C-alpha cells in the first residue's frame, strides 16, 4: 500500500507553527475543539442514518488515555472522512478562519500576545498541536469500506495511507508533548469536558481505573483497581428538548444553576428560531431584581451563548439590547461558527439577528402576560418597569410595542391601581382632545396640584408620573393613538371647540380688563417669571406656574439641579385665576391706589404660593413666613375691632 506525503498549504503551515510554539496558558480548548468535531460528525451521520438504516446508531464519543504510549485518543462513530476529505479538510485548504487568525496575530506583532488569540479564534483541529508532537487520524467514511490514516508532526507536511478500521467514524490519536502529559489524567479530561462540553447531546465516555475495597477469600479487606467506564457529560441540553418533555422542576433547577438565584423564575420562555437565523433559546425573567443589579449601568450579560451545544461565553452583551439585561438564559446557535472571535461577538450580523428575534419574543411574552395575567405582569413591572421605560427611550424599532407595556397611576384611580396608555385612551370622555400627564415628586403633591383644576372640572383623567425618568421617556411619545400626550404643567391645554371658545373669551376679557395690574405684578417679579397672565386653567387656586411647551417642567429642573448644581433655571409663566377672591380684591385695591405697597407684596406671595402648591422650594421661606404672619395679625386685629 502506498503512503503519500503532502505539503501543508503555506497559511496552514504558519498556523501550525503558532500552535506548536504556543505558550498560551489555556490549552484545554483543544479538547473542546476535538469533541465538537466529533459531535458534528455524529450529527451528520445521524442525519444520514434517517435514510440509510444500516448505518451505526449507538452514537458515542469516546476518549482513551494510554499512559504507556503517551497518547490521548478521541473516537467517534460519526460520518468519517474519505481520503479526499482528509486531504482537503485537515490538510491543505486553509479556511477563512485561518487567514483571519494569522492576520490578527500579525497585527499584534506576535510575541506573547499572539498565542492568546488562539483561545479567541479556536482554530479547530490544529489546536491539537498546542499539546501534541504528532497526530494520527484514522477515518472511515460511513457507508464505505475503505479507511485512511492521516499523520503529521504538525511541521510542514503530512502523510496519508490506507489502513484497516472496523467501524465507521474517526479516531484522532494525539501523541502528547511531555509537558502536556497531565491530559492523560481522567480528572483533568473530565473537568475540561464539564466546563466546555457538558451539554453535548451524545455521551462522552472514558474508561478509568477506580480503587475498590473488596474482601478476599479470608474475609480480609483488600484494595483492588478496576476499570470503570464513565460518561463525562450530563448531556442535559435542556434548551434543546421540547417543552412538553421537561418538568417544571427541571427548568427551575436549571434556572437556579444558571443565575445563582433561589426559587422559581417569574416567567420561562422556550423559543426556537428557524429560517434566516437558527437558534434555540431558553430564557428566564427573574421574579426579583438581583441584589447586584445596577439600573444605571450594564454589567455582564446574563445570557450564555452556545454554538451547537458547545459553550462559547457568558459575556456577550450584544445578544440582547441593554434594557433587557435582566433576562437570563441560554442561546444555542446553529449558524454561528464555533471559532467565533471576541470581535465577532461584539459586532456580527448573525448576533444582531438573534438580538432582534429575542427582543421581539421577550416583548411579545410580556404583552401576553399583561393581557392574560395582570397580577403577574404588575409584579414584573414593579421590579423591572424602569427598564421597560429605558426601552421606550432607546429601542426605536420596538417603541410602539414597548409603550403599550407601560403602566401608570392616574388621578381618577385609587393609589396603587395602574393603567396602560390603551386603557387610559379608551376611557377618555368623547370630548377630551389630549392625553394628560403631570410630573412631580409624589402622588400626594400631584393630586393637589392647581394645574389639574380645570381638567377635574371636565372629569378628564391625568397620568401621574413620579419617576424622574418618566419625563424623558414620555417626551419620546408625542402621540398615542392619534391623541397628543400633553404635560399639564406645560403650555396650553387644548379643549374641544365647544369649551375652548368660551374659555378663550373669558381669558381675553380678564387680561384686557386687568392690563395694568398684570404689568405691575410682572414688574414686581422681574426675571423670576417669563410672563404673567390671566388664564382659565385654575378654578380654585389663585395662581400657578406653567413651563413653556418645550421647556423642562419644574420637577425635571429640580432633578437636573440635583445632578448638576449649575443646571440653568428656566423661568416660567405665572398664571392667575381671574375669579379668585384674592385677585378680585387685588383688582379693587389697584383701582383705588395703584402704588399701594401691599400690591407688590401680594404679587410676591402669589408667586410663592404657586411654588408651594407644586412642591417646589421657596427662594426665601423666612420672608414668606413673615408676610403670612403679618397678614394673619392684620386679619386677627380686624376681627377684634369688628366685635
Ligand atoms: P472546523 O471544525 O472549525 O470546521 P476543524 O479544523 O476542526 O475546523 O475541522 C476541519 C474539517 O474537518 C471539519 O469541518 C470536518 O469537515 C472535518 N473533520 C474534523 N474532525 C472530524 C471528525 N471527527 N469527523 C469527521 N470530520 C471531521
Atom of ligand 1 nearest to the CA of 33: 7
Helix 349-372 × helix 374-394 angle, to 10°: 140
Q: Give the pLDDT confidence score for residue 126 in this predicted structure.
A: 86
Residues of the chain whose pLDDT is less than 70? Answer: 1, 22-25, 50, 54-56, 91-102, 104-123, 257, 260, 262, 291-302
Q: Give the pLDDT confidence score for residue 98 in this predicted structure.
A: 66
Q: Answer for the pair 567, 561: CB distance below 8 angstroms, yes or no.
A: yes
- Residue 521 CB coordination number (10 Å): 26
Q: Give the pLDDT confidence score for residue 413 in this predicted structure.
A: 95
Residues 6 or more apart whose Cβ sits within 8 Å of residue 538: 450, 453, 454, 544, 575, 576, 577, 580
Q: Give the pLDDT confidence score for residue 260 in this predicted structure.
A: 63
Ligand 1 centroid – CA 330 distance (Å): 25
Q: Answer for the pair 86, 8: CB distance below 8 angstroms, yes or no.
A: no
**Three-class SS state of 428:** coil
Q: Answer for the pair 35, 72: CB distance below 8 angstroms, yes or no.
A: no
Query: Is 464 close to ligand 1, i.e. is its CB under 6 Å away?
Result: no
Query: Is 142 close to ligand 1, i.e. is its CB under 6 Å away?
Result: no
Q: What angle do CA 9, 10, 14 make, to 5 degrees?
A: 120
The owner of cell 421590579 is 383
Identify the CATH assignment for 3-209+225-231 out of 3.30.310.50, 3.40.50.1000, 3.40.50.970, 3.30.565.10: 3.30.565.10
Identify the CATH assignment for 508-547+567-642 out of 1.10.10.10, 3.50.30.40, 1.25.40.390, 1.20.120.790: 1.20.120.790
* Spatial distance between the Cα atoms of 339 and 485, rounded to a whole number of angstroms: 50
Domain spans in the chain, listed from the N-terminal domain onward:
3-209+225-231, 238-374, 508-547+567-642
Mutate to test the pocket of ligand 1, among 40, 121, 123, 338 (most ligand atoms within 8 A of CB): 40
* Spatial distance between the Cα atoms of 300 and 70, rounded to a whole number of angstroms: 41
Ligand 1 centroid – CA 510 distance (Å): 87
* Spatial distance between the Cα atoms of 208 and 230, rounded to a whole number of angstroms: 8
Identify the CATH assignment for 238-374 out of 3.30.230.80, 3.40.50.300, 3.40.190.290, 3.30.2010.10: 3.30.230.80
* Spatial distance between the Cα atoms of 169 and 142, rounded to a whole number of angstroms: 7
Query: Is 339 close to ligand 1, i.e. is its CB under 6 Å away?
Result: yes
Ligand 1 centroid – CA 125 distance (Å): 7
* Spatial distance between the Cα atoms of 418 and 408, rounded to a whole number of angstroms: 5
What radius of gyration do the chain's Cα atoms show? 38
Mutate to test the pocket of ligand 1, among 125, 136, 204 (most ligand atoms within 8 A of CB): 125
Query: Is 89 close to ligand 1, i.e. is its CB under 6 Å away?
Result: yes
Cβ-defined contacts of 510-514 (< 8 Å, 24+): 510/534, 510/578, 514/578, 514/587
Query: Is 37 close to ligand 1, i.e. is its CB under 6 Å away?
Result: yes
Convert 280-296 to b/e letters by CB count within 10 Å (16 or more is b): bbbbbbbbeeeeeeeee
Mutate to test the pocket of ligand 1, among 37, 46, 160, 197 (most ligand atoms within 8 A of CB): 37
Q: Answer for the pair 319, 207: CB distance below 8 angstroms, yes or no.
A: no
**DSSP symbol at 289:** -
* Spatial distance between the Cα atoms of 440 and 556, rounded to a whole number of angstroms: 8
Query: Is 41 close to ligand 1, i.e. is its CB under 6 Å away?
Result: yes
**Three-class SS state of 258:** helix
Pairing between β-strand 61-66 and β-strand 328-333 as defined by DSSP bridges: unpaired
Atom of ligand 1 nearest to the CA of 126: 6
Amino acid at each position: 500500500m502506498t503512503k503519500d506525503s503532502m505539503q501543508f498549504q503555506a497559511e496552514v503551515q504558519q498556523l501550525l507553527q503558532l500552535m506548536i510554539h504556543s505558550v498560551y496558558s489555556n490549552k484545554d480548548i483543544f479538547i473542546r475543539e476535538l469533541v465538537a468535531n466529533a459531535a458534528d460528525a455524529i450529527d451528520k451521520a445521524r442525519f444520514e442514518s434517517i435514510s440509510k438504516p444500516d448505518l451505526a446508531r449507538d452514537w458515542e464519543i469516546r476518549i482513551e488515555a494510554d499512559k504507556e504510549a503517551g497518547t490521548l485518543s478521541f473516537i467517534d462513530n460519526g460520518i468519517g472522512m474519505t481520503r479526499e476529505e482528509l486531504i482537503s479538510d485537515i490538510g491543505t485548504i486553509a479556511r477563512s478562519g485561518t487567514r483571519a487568525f494569522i492576520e490578527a496575530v500579525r497585527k499584534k506583532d506576535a510575541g506573547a500576545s499572539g498565542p492568546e488569540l488562539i483561545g479567541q479564534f479556536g482554530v479547530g483541529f490544529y489546536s491539537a498541536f498546542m499539546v501534541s508532537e504528532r497526530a494520527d487520524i484514522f477515518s472511515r467514511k460511513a457507508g464505505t469500506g475503505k479507511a485512511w490514516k492521516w499523520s503529521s508532526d504538525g511541521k510542514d507536511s503530512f502523510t496519508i495511507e490506507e489502513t484497516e478500521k472496523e467501524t465507521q467514524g474517526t479516531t484522532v490519536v494525539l501523541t502528547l508533548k511531555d509537558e502536556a502529559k497531565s491530559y492523560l489524567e481522567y480528572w483533568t479530561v473530565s473537568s475540561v469536558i464539564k466546563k466546555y462540553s457538558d451539554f453535548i447531546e451524545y455521551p462522552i465516555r472514558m474508561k478509568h481505573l477506580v480503587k475498590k475495597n473488596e474482601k478476599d477469600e479470608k474475609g480480609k479487606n483488600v484494595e483492588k483497581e478496576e476499570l470503570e467506564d464513565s460518561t463525562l457529560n450530563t448531556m442535559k441540553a435542556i434548551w434543546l428538548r421540547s417543552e412538553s418533555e421537561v418538568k417544571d422542576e427541571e427548568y427551575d433547577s436549571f434556572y437556579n444553576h444558571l443565575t445563582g438565584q433561589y426559587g422559581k423564575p417569574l416567567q420561562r420562555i422556550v423559543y426556537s428560531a428557524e429560517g434566516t437565523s437558527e437558534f434555540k433559546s431558553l430564557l428566564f425573567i427573574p421574579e426579583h431584581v438581583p441584589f447586584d443589579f445596577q439600573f444605571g449601568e450594564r454589567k455582564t450579560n446574563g445570557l450564555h451563548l452556545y454554538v451547537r451545544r458547545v459553550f462559547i461565553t457568558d459575556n456577550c452583551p450584544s445578544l440582547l439590547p441593554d434594557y433587557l439585561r435582566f433576562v437570563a438564559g441560554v442561546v444555542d446557535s446553529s449558524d454561528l461558527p464555533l471559532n467565533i472571535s471576541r470581535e465577532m461577538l461584539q459586532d456580527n450580523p448573525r448576533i444582531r439577528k438573534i438580538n432582534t428575534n429575542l427582543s421581539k419574543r421577550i416583548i411579545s411574552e410580556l404583552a401576553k402576560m399583561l393581557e392574560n395575567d395582570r397580577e403577574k405582569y404588575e409584579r414584573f413591572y414593579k421590579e423591572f418597569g424602569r427598564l421597560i421605560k429605558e426601552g421606550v427611550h432607546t429601542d426605536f424599532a420596538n417603541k410602539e410595542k414597548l409603550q403599550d407595556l407601560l403602566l401608570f397611576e392616574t388621578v381618577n384611580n385609587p393609589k396603587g391601581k395602574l393603567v396602560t396608555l390603551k386603557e387610559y385612551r379608551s376611557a377618555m370622555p368623547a370630548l377630551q382632545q389630549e392625553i394628560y400627564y403631570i410630573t412631580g415628586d409624589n402622588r400626594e403633591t400631584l393630586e393637589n396640584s392647581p394645574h389639574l383644576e380645570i381638567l377635574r372640572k371636565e372629569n378628564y383623567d391625568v397620568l401621574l408620573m413620579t419617576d424622574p425618568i418618566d419625563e424623558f421617556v414620555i417626551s419620546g411619545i408625542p402621540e398615542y393613538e392619534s391623541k397628543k400626550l400633553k404635560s399639564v404643567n406645560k403650555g396650553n391645554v387644548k379643549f374641544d371647540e365647544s369649551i375652548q371658545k368660551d374659555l378663550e373669551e373669558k381669558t381675553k376679557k380678564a387680561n384686557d380688563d386687568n392690563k395694568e395690574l398684570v404689568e405691575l405684578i410682572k414688574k414686581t417679579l422681574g426675571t423670576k417669571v417669563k410672563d404673567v397672565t390671566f388664564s382659565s386653567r385654575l378654578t380654585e387656586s389663585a395662581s400657578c406656574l406653567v413651563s413653556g411647551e418645550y421647556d423642562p417642567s419644574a420637577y425635571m429642573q429640580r432633578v437636573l439641579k440635583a445632578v448638576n448644581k449649575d443646571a440653568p433655571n428656566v423661568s416660567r409663566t405665572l398664571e392667575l385665576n381671574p375669579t379668585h377672591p384674592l385677585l378680585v380684591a387685588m383688582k379693587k385695591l389697584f383701582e383705588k391706589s395703584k402704588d399701594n405697597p401691599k400690591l407688590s407684596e401680594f404679587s410676591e406671595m402669589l408667586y410663592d404660593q404657586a411654588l408651594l402648591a407644586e412642591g417646589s422650594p421657596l427662594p426665601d421661606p423666612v420672608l414668606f413666613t413673615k408676610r403670612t404672619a403679618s397678614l394673619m395679625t392684620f386679619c386677627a386685629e380686624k376681627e377684634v375691632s369688628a366685635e
